[in-house]
Structure 1
Amino acid sequence: MDLFSHSWAALRAAVAGLPDEDFARPSGCAGWLVRDLVCHLVIDAQDVLITLATPADAEPTRDAVTYWEVAATPPTGDDPLDALIVRLAAAYQEMPLLKFHLDDVGSAAGRAAGLADPGLRVGTRGQVLTAGDYLAAYVLEWTLHHLDLVTHLPDVAGPPAEGLARSREMLEAIAGTAFPRALSDEDALLVGTGRRAPTGAERAALGDLAARLPLFLG
């Protein structure tokens, strides 16, 4: 849970430091500008608040790894929520307001996570998890989106090393195998989730695993 807070605080701090013009740059999410990605983070923060306030009595059906579902194809942007996020982001005429909303809702989500009982069972997406597992799953979410944020912003600090390492471990668990150590944690995440194509050397290092990648997480 500390890693959730650390990863989330680092991502929010990176957004808070962006000049207005950077919000119009492309992000690492195909078809999304930085402002679209930040608007998605506001929705993510709302989801965290909603889930932590939705206790469940049933036994857990998922954990931090099985929370993620692997799709056969990348998102197209046609999903109604994805399309809505782009329209919502476009409605922000002033980027300081978007920053404020992320800080406001994001700070509340961070506080709620810090107060949550890790053993509390919560419901989300028709599944039941412990709060600890749910927040652990979001370390991967925050880390991937932090990488998306800085894709075309080389001067902005990337995600914390601890979040990268833990996210790699989760992606390897989802894949059912370890990635070669020749790939850094960042490269393993970018290649493994289809955020960029592997180089020839990386493909050779991946071996048979290359044919099973990328993993589109949802």
Structure 2
Amino acid sequence: MDTFSRSWADLRAAVAGLAVADFARPSGCAGWLVRDLVCHLVIDAQDVLITLVTPAAAERAVDAAGYWDLSDALPAGDDPLDALIPRLAAAYGEPHLLTFHLDDVGSAAGRAAALADPAARVATQDKALTVADYLAAYVLEWTLHHLDLVAHLPAVPGPAPESLAAARALLERVAGAAFPASYTDTDALLIGTGRGTPTAEQAAALDAVALKLPLVLG
């Protein structure tokens, strides 16, 4: 719960500190500008609010790793929902309207998570899991998107070390194998999800653990 709160607060703080010009810069998500990514975060926050008040019934039970499905191809930005995001982001017009909405809905999502019973079971995407597992899954979501946010904005603060470590640990559970010990947590997350390209040395270390990459999370 604490790691969820920290990762989400840090991501929202990074968005709040962006300059107006930053919103028109590319993000680490294929086909999305920073403003598009921020718009996606608004929708993510809404999803958290919805899920936390949706009790589980007969959905398939999973844990934090089982929350994630793996896809065969990296997103190209042309999925119907992905393609909708830039249009929604553009409709805000001024960046301050977008950041206001994220702060409003995002703060509510953070409060709802803090108030939720970690052992309660909730439903999302035809799956059932505890609140604790659901929030753990979102640490990976927030941390990856924080890395997406700062991909071309080196002056903007990135995720906290504890968020990176928790996200890496969960990604390794999804993969069913550990990344090479020589990889930093950021390396593991970027290379593991296809956001980064390994150096020759990193690729050789990866071959030794026989991980099939990229891990495209959906």
Q: Which runs of 5+ in 1 are unaligned?
A: none
Match of 1:128, SS?
Answer: strand
Percentage of matched positions with identical amino acids:
70
Aligned to 1:148: 148
Aligned to 1:176: 176
CA-atom RMSD in angstroms: 1.2
Aligned to 1:164: 164
Amino acid at match of 1:177: A
Aligned to 2:213: 213
Amino acid at match of 2:11: L
Do 1:7 and 1:163's aligned partners in 2 also have CA atoms closer than 8 Å? yes
Distance (Å, rounded) in 2 between the aligned partners of 1:175 and 1:144: 16
Match of 1:206, SS?
Answer: helix
Task: Mark the CA change 1:118 to 1:20 in structure 2 (over 3 Å): closer, same or farther.
Answer: same
Cα offset, 1:151, TM superposition: 0.4
Amino acid at match of 2:203: R
Deviation digits for residues 78-112 of structure 1 (CA, Å, limit 9, x no counterpart): 22211111110111211000000000000000000
Cα offset, 1:211, TM superposition: 6.2
Match of 1:151, SS?
Answer: coil
Match of 1:212, SS?
Answer: coil
Distance (Å, rounded) in 2 between the aligned partners of 1:166 and 1:200: 26
How do 1:5-20 and structure 2 match up within 5 A? 5-20=5-20
Aligned to 1:138: 138
Do 2:178 and 2:209's aligned partners in 1 also have CA atoms closer than 8 Å? no
Do 1:168 and 1:189's aligned partners in 2 also have CA atoms closer than 8 Å? yes
Q: Which runs of 5+ in 2 are unaligned?
A: none
Amino acid at match of 2:190: L
Do 2:27 and 2:33's aligned partners in 1 also have CA atoms closer than 8 Å? yes
Match of 2:137, SS?
Answer: helix
Cα offset, 1:57, TM superposition: 3.6
Deviation digits for residues 96-135 of structure 1 (CA, Å, limit 9, x no counterpart): 0000000000000000000000011111011111111101
Distance (Å, rounded) in 2 between the aligned partners of 1:100 and 1:210: 45
Do 1:60 and 1:121's aligned partners in 2 also have CA atoms closer than 8 Å? no
Aligned to 2:45: 45
TM superposition score normalised by structure 2: 0.97
Moved beyond 2 Å, runs of 4+: 57-60, 208-211
Cα offset, 1:150, TM superposition: 0.2
